[in-house]
Amino acid sequence: MTLNALILAADSALRTLCAEPRASRPMPVAESAGLEMSEAERKEAAALMRVNHVGEVCAQALYTGQALACKDPALRAQLAEASREETDHLAWTYQRLNELKDRPSLLNPLWYAGSFVIGYAAGKLGGDKVSLGFVVETERQVEAHLQSHMDRLPAADSESRAIVAQMKADEIAHAQMALKAGAVELPAPVKSLMQVAAKLMTQVAHRV
């Protein structure tokens, strides 16, 4: 691990947690204008988008941790590219939260720290193929999570739906990238533990 790599990892953390994220792609636009939402619908949409924003904070941390532990320069570049796409998601969900007159999770530093440790440990202890397997399983669970949000978002909130739909497509592509790069299947107990951790995070972030 070089000093330059550590500086880049620290820079990623500061940009994710302290700076307003900037997307490289335009925010997805709904095919039709959203209808006016009730206050209850607005609050529910904002809570779901806050959870999605937390997911993107965690994605930044995971990819940063995995890239720091990665031994293959080509794979490290692939992880960096996936991280850049996740930055788009971070920016889109942040902007949508502002539009919904709500805020990100107050626990984002905690979410980031935990995800960074998990990403680094997956790459350092298991090697690149296990790290890629972690990417595949994470993205599969995120895809299912985003689909559940498509079902739960208020019907009037077409703007949030457009964002979530594009995010879901990108997550599928990230999982396919990891599979092509040689990902190994994670053991069932590890998958179950990841599901439990994700459920806890989403329940807390929905409120805090």
Q: Is residue 38 assigned to a domain?
A: no
pLDDT tens for the chain, 208 residues: list them: 566 777 877 888 888 998 899 999 999 988 776 678 999 999 999 999 999 999 999 989 988 888 888 888 888 888 888 888 889 999 999 999 999 999 999 999 999 999 999 888 888 877 888 888 988 998 899 999 999 999 999 989 999 999 999 999 999 998 998 898 888 998 898 889 888 888 888 899 988 8
Q: Is residue 61 assigned to a domain?
A: yes
Q: Is residue 72 assigned to a domain?
A: yes
* pLDDT tens profile 114-160: 999 988 888 887 788 888 898 899 889 999 999 999 999 998 999 99
Q: Is residue 36 assigned to a domain?
A: no
Instruction: Say how many domains are in the chain.
Output: 1
Shortest CA distance to 165 belongs to which of 61, 37, 1, 52?
A: 52
Shortest CA distance to 179 belongs to which of 78, 109, 28?
A: 78
CA 9 to chain centre: 17
Length of the chain: 208
Residue 34: the pLDDT is 65
Residue 78: the pLDDT is 81
Count of CB atoms situated within 10 Å of the CB of 1: 10
Question: Environment class of residue 158 by beta-carbon count within 10 Å: exposed (0-12), middle (13-18) or buried (19+)?
Answer: middle
CATH number of residue 201's parent domain: 1.20.1260.10
Residue 77: the pLDDT is 83
Q: Is residue 107 assigned to a domain?
A: yes
Q: Is residue 71 assigned to a domain?
A: yes
pTM of the full predicted structure?
0.91
Q: Is there a contact between 23 and 92 (Cβ–Cβ < 8 Å)?
A: yes
Q: Is residue 21 assigned to a domain?
A: no
Q: Is residue 113 assigned to a domain?
A: yes
Show the domain range for 189.
3-14+48-205
